[in-house]
Amino acid sequence: MGPMNLAAFYRACDRLVETGWTLPQIEQVCHFRDSFQQTSKDLPDLNLDIRSLEFIRWLVQTGKLSDW
């Protein structure tokens, strides 16, 4: 999976804001995604849906995802 291009990143951020996310929450999840990418370099190339599920699993396993 390649890095997200800037236009796609801004569209994703806009969608998060539209659904009620705050800028600090968006920044935090971006930081978590960067951390996940660093720790998951040994995972094989997976399709986007599987990679997204792996990211969610990682958030839960590391205690970064909880009820707000």
- What lies within 8 Å, CB to CB, of 40 at 6+ separation is 54, 58
Q: Which pLDDT score is estimated for 2?
A: 47
Q: Which pLDDT score is estimated for 14?
A: 92
pLDDT of the chain, 68 residues: tens digit per residue: 345 678 888 888 898 899 888 888 888 888 888 887 787 777 666 676 777 788 888 888 887 777 65
pTM for the model stands at 0.62
Q: Which pLDDT score is estimated for 67?
A: 60
Whether 40 and 54 have beta carbons less than 8 Å apart is answered as: yes
Q: Which pLDDT score is estimated for 1?
A: 37
